[in-house]
Amino acid sequence: MVHQEAFEWYIAVYLFLAGVGAGSMVVAAVADMYDREKYLSFIKAASLIGMPLVSIGIFFLYIDLGQGMWKPWLLIFLFANPASAITWGTAILTIFTILSFIYGAYNLGYLKIGCSRCLNWLLIITGICTAGYTAVLLGSLKAIPFWHQTALPILFIISATSTGISGAMIVKLIFLKSDANIKPIETAHLYLIVLEIIMLIGMMLIALQGVPEMKYAAESLLFGDYAFLFWFLLVFTGLLVPAIAFGMEEAHKLHMKTKTVVTLEIMVLLGGYLMRYLIIHAGVYTKKFAEYIVR
Amino acid sequence: MNKKYAMAYIIDRCIDCKACMVSCKAEWNVPEDFFRTHIDQGLKKELHGKFRMDFLPSQCNHCDKAPCVTVCPTKASHNREDGIVYVDRSRCVGCKYCIPSCPYDARFYNHDLGVAEKCTFCLPRIADGLEPACATTCPGNVRVFGDINDPASEISMVLGAAKENKQKVWKLREDLGTLPNIYYIQK
């Protein structure tokens, strides 16, 4: 079995940052439509990180490029092939970055816009596309069976929304120093983390029964080279501990200080990054032959 | 009729000497640690506890429906009219997306030039009427290169003879729908 080596941690960082940025903007836009006044501190916090994080993500994509980095005029060709997922992604990212910049400026009081409801909807749609497209980018490659599955975009969208909430929460608690009550978002965050755990369990159980390449990829995460990162940093630190802590708070059995909440949110972000990193590195090429050598 | 270049490997003849890999590297100045063609080994257990080793050369399959061409955002990777899948180095931005898209793992990233690289069927050589370096070098005559649209070409003859003699002829991973153009022949 051969692991792919073309995509490395730069791409994982991009997938992660695009997810956090897009996720925070989507949640902010949804919260905006429910009750702008109540969630204003969250919306402002999301506005501060949404566009900047996506832009940093794009910067990582840019420095991962080869010739395109030192010959930037070639980048215009990125729109040349409508069949390529990178072309879709370039278009989606361009639109989303502009929209999230306008929305951020509006929320922070630098700009007045007419139809904020339209902007909310546009942000929700392009934000979900931004978060989901990162998985479609990997999933449209049938040469790598572990990526080539429908569960991946769903997992990435859930993780993007969850890490997006975490990112905005950290900004809200530390930089905006707001203790406004945004309980429904915290509840949603708990459910998203639980959903992510269920999705991961499902994906792993299915992958273990899948084609040999998929099984090999899942085994390298569960028992192989990446087992420590997977079990300790992703599952335990990034998902289980936050889920249990948020769940106990939800049940009023635990009252957490700001510091504890921020630590937990950082753990969720770490888990989100590792999820991308591990899925990128578990990409195993489909077999060229082996059983195709006929006797 | 258009030319359509293809290659056939008579794989019973391969002795894993790796001369093809070396000649390719020497001809095209392929970066260290990378090869445009490979020979893979497969070990199989036969009856009575005996083992058998198979050698399988491989390179870019110049697929008619190449995934690398589909996923290339800049159209730097494209299907030429003569059947060769070619990377236009002046257009490639080095996004690396084509590399994991290839089910044959035929591509790699050239760090010096910042572009994706792979076998070109020795395009400049065949324009001069020569064979690809690997086919010329192969001491066992494993590799037969030519235009399969020309019934008089060596590759058409070899494939025709293999069919007549009911030898096994196949291509790699046809189930993926890539329509590859490297034929494998085994007695």
pLDDT in tens, A231-287: 999 999 999 999 999 999 999 888 888 899 999 999 999 999 999 999 999 999 888
Residue A54 lies in a domain: yes
- Identify whether the C-beta of residue A1 lies closer than 8 Å to the C-beta of residue A284: yes
Whether the pLDDT of residue A51 is over 60: the answer is yes
Return the residue in A293, A294, A295 with the most chain B beta carbons within 10 A, the one to mutate for interface testing. A293
Cβ contact (<8 Å) for B93 and A84?
Answer: no
pLDDT mean over B29-38: 91
Chain B CB contacts of A288 below 8 Å: 40, 56, 58, 103-105, 172-173
Of A43, A4, A3, residue with least CA distance to A24: A43
pLDDT mean over A64-89: 89
Rounded to 10°, the helix A116-139/A9-35 angle is 150
Which pLDDT score, from 0 to 100, does residue A290 have?
56
Average pLDDT, chain A: 91
- Identify whether the C-beta of residue A172 lies closer than 8 Å to the C-beta of residue A178: yes
pLDDT in tens, B36-81: 999 988 777 777 888 888 888 999 999 999 999 999 999 999 999 9
User: B170 in contact with A at a CB cutoff of 8 Å?
Assistant: yes
Task: Identify the three-state secondary structure at position A283.
Answer: coil
Residue range of the domain that includes A19: 9-292
Return the residue in A3, A62, A67 with the most chain B beta carbons within 10 A, the one to mutate for interface testing. A67
Task: Identify the three-state secondary structure at position A67.
Answer: helix
Percent of chain A with pLDDT over 90: 71
- Identify whether the C-beta of residue B20 lies closer than 8 Å to the C-beta of residue B57: yes
Chain A CB contacts of B73 below 8 Å: 77-81, 84, 86-87, 90
Rounded to 10°, the helix A151-170/A116-139 angle is 130
User: A143 in contact with B at a CB cutoff of 8 Å?
Assistant: yes
Chain A CB contacts of B35 below 8 Å: none
Residue A180 lies in a domain: yes
- Identify whether the C-beta of residue A240 lies closer than 8 Å to the C-beta of residue A193: no
Q: Name the pLDDT band for B155 (thresholds 50, 70, 90).
A: very high
- Identify whether the C-beta of residue A217 lies closer than 8 Å to the C-beta of residue A180: no
pLDDT in tens, B158-178: 999 999 999 989 888 888 889
Give me Rg for the CA atoms of chain B. Answer: 17
CA distance A215 to A205: 9
CATH assignment, B5-186 = 3.30.70.20
pLDDT in tens, B76-113: 999 999 999 999 999 999 999 999 999 998 999 999 99
Total domains present in chain A: 1
pLDDT mean over B25-31: 91
Nearest to B115 among A67, A77, A78 (CB): A67
CA distance A239 to A216: 23
Nearest CA in chain B to A148: B101
CA distance B141 to A70: 43
Whether the pLDDT of residue A295 is over 70: the answer is no
User: B12 in contact with A at a CB cutoff of 8 Å?
Assistant: no
Please state the domain extents for chain B: 5-186
Q: Name the pLDDT band for A291 (thresholds 50, 70, 90).
A: low
Nearest CA in chain A to B95: A65
Percent of chain A with pLDDT over 70: 98
What CATH code is carried by the domain that includes residue A167? 1.20.1630.10
Of B113, B123, B118, residue with least CA distance to B91: B113
Residue A4 lies in a domain: no
Å from B42 to nearest chain A CA? 6
Å from B164 to nearest chain A CA? 18
Which pLDDT score, from 0 to 100, does residue A181 have?
83
pLDDT mean over A105-122: 88
Whether the pLDDT of residue B17 is over 60: the answer is yes
Whether the pLDDT of residue B143 is over 50: the answer is yes
Q: What phi and psi values does residue A230 have, to the nearest 5 degrees? A: -65, -55
Whether the pLDDT of residue A40 is over 60: the answer is yes
Cβ contact (<8 Å) for B100 and A143?
Answer: yes
User: B100 in contact with A at a CB cutoff of 8 Å?
Assistant: yes
Cβ contact (<8 Å) for A66 and B110?
Answer: yes
Whether the pLDDT of residue B23 is over 90: the answer is yes
What is the token pair recorded at A243?
Answer: 């889920």
